[in-house]
Structure 1
């Protein structure tokens, strides 16, 4: 029998901390192929830092074969089953927007703490996009590393355990949820005391995060550009918080645990 992607200790850590790190979730060769595509799309030359003129360059949704392969490895699909539930998530055919971060001193202007919204994307005002306690429209937040990332290479900052604070904040709003503007109104102060982890790792590492996890970008202080995708895993069915303990997924269990405190 093939070993499962996540052991019980990792699943418990996901429930309590809000994320789990999977090293080697997709091959380095796939990351290299994808990165070559991103360099071409960026208009920048990997061998000429003079062409790196912006602190962050965003590349639109990428669905070429290396990206599809990276999102659908057996280890990731098994981990999705373990965290969200079998047949309760939709396979990805692309990896969404890539923020490529370059080692420049200019302020990237996007380093505030936040969560990723999960519905009402039809509004051009992204601060009006919404999230509710059932995380309608989002099963996981995922961070795919397509380059090696150390502490100086602008790794995403994570507020460990902050998904529990956000679940409690969202609960009184019911199915309507809260907008990003509502949630950011106090600077996510409910999670301000949480310890910070950094999403570092080798190319091919993936962080699978609870959809309520508070996180933030940061300026690049290293020497090599950072390539990362941050797509959602979409649900195939709504979350159900009223299930018995043994039937709830770890994503649902984390929310129920937060509301029980």
Structure 2
């Protein structure tokens, strides 16, 4: 699986993003920033890394954080370069922090949130999240991002990724046009079209970031390790709608490749 700790992505890595739907960037932000983020989250949770007897829930969810370490982790020069390369130069908004945080603890208890899904990108005004939407132009989202704030091994509840699933979802969204499909519509068949996709685990050291196509199908899983897993899953927001006059970004190229579209 392509990865990098260089200043910019190689052409092979960009093509892998188009084909597979994601790229992994090691050392995208410092381990010190990751530690500062974890420290802040421990404080807000009212828990301690040294008192595992108090880790009584399989997952705790924390909202958006915009203090200095979270802003810094999301806006390193390496990540800004990668945002340009994948979402289009200057076609994205600099993140104002990180969130949300599904913090997973070692537990034999199911968290009940481990189904395969695609993150919706607009329509959040509806109180029913199953009515939130996505459309084939990926309105409202330039990238899905996974920020590892702790070391994540195979037993530490790494996010499961279906490689290449974004292409199937693009084709399924196409008939819905600009209005898009709701989560209820898109998930009605359990993402059956992507069941044959190879599964990749989002593992890595603290400071690793997975930059993913917005249509990538992914899922949580139980934590079978020993230390809590800290991760943020923010969107990269676009500056606006796709602009046909500009050369297509890799995010757009992946959709065009899947659907044979001209935008």
> Which bin holds the TM-score, normalised by the shorter protein?
over 0.9
Aligned equivalent of 1:253:
253
Give the 4+ runs in structure 1 shifted more than 6 A. none
Q: Does 1:110 align with 2:113?
A: yes
- 1:140 corresponds to which residue? 143
Residues 111-169 of structure 1 show CA distances to partners (whole Å, capped at 9, x for unaligned) of 00000000000111111100000000000000000000000000000000000000000
Q: Give 3-state SS (helix, strand or coil) of 1:34's partner.
A: helix
Question: Which residue in 1 is equivalent to 2:3?
Answer: none
Structure 2: runs of 5 or more not aligned? 1-5
The CA RMSD measured in Å over matched residues stands at 1.2
Using the TM superposition, name which of 132-141 and 35-44 deviates more.
35-44
Question: What is the distance in 2 between the residues matched to 1:51 and 1:239?
Answer: 47
- TM-superposition CA deviations, 1:5-61 (whole Å, max 9, x none): 100010010000000000000000000011000111112221011110100001111
Counterpart pick for 1:52 among 31, 55, 66: 55
Residue 68 (structure 1) aligns with: 71
Structure 1 unaligned regions, length at least 5: none
The normalised TM-score by structure 1 is 0.96
Q: Which residue among 24, 31, 41 is the counterpart of 1:21?
A: 24
Q: 1:100 is matched with which residue: 98, 103, 121?
A: 103
* 1:248 CA drift (Å): 1.1
Counterpart-to-counterpart distance in 1, 2:259 and 2:125: 30
Secondary structure at the aligned position of 2:108 is classed as coil
**Whole-Å Cα distance in 1 between the matches of residues 245 and 195 of structure 2?**
31
CA distance in 2, matches of 1:146, 1:182: 33
Find the partner of 2:160 among 157, 179, 183. 157
Distance 2:48 2:248 in 1: 48
State the partner residue of 1:87.
90
Q: Residue 208 of structure 1: SS of its match in structure 2?
A: strand
Give the whole-Å Cα distance in 1 for the aligned partners of 2:102 and 2:47.
Answer: 14
What SS does the corresponding residue of 1:81 show, helix, strand or coil? helix
Q: Secondary structure at the match of 2:23?
A: strand
Aligned length: 256
Partner of 1:228: 231
SS of the residue 2:172 aligns to: helix
Matched, 1:120 2:133: no
> For 1:46-89, what per-residue CA distance to the aligned partner results, in whole angstroms no more than 9, with x for missing partners?
10111101000011111111000000000000000000111100
